[in-house]
Amino acid sequence: MNFIINFLWKYKVENYSHDEKIFYPPIKLSTFNTPKANAKNGTLAYYAPWGDVVMFYKDFGSAGGLYELGEAIFGKEDIKGLEGMITIKKVDKK
């Protein structure tokens, strides 16, 4: 998936539903060879039908068109309170 390059910018976070925050990258992301998501608290996913990136702060499960991007390494408990502009960057697990 080509999302790493896209995450070099800042994004405006929006509330959606009762378990997630979303933002829209400037271009549609490729889902080629990307695993389907089984979202839980801290999952970062891409919802291809709408072209938004989703940050879950509660367990969700799966949905058609929902692809796994990664997970929050720390701060899962802070996702629910996110608002305004954010920057997401890749961190390698050690």
Average pLDDT over residues 72-86: 91
| pLDDT grade for 78, boundaries at 50, 70 and 90 | very high
Other residues' Cβ atoms within 10 Å of the Cβ of residue 66: 21
86 in Cβ contact with 11 (< 8 Å): yes
Nearest-CA neighbor of 7 among 41, 55, 77? Answer: 55
Give the pLDDT confidence of 29-75 residue by residue, as tens digits: 899 999 999 999 999 999 999 999 999 999 999 999 999 999 988 89
Q: Which residue has the higher pLDDT, 67 or 93?
A: 67
**What is the pLDDT at residue 59?**
97
CATH number of 3-87: 2.40.100.20
d(CA 50, CA 80): 21
pTM of the prediction? 0.84
Domain boundaries, the chain: 3-87
62 in Cβ contact with 36 (< 8 Å): yes
- Asked if pLDDT for residue 87 goes beyond 50, the answer is yes
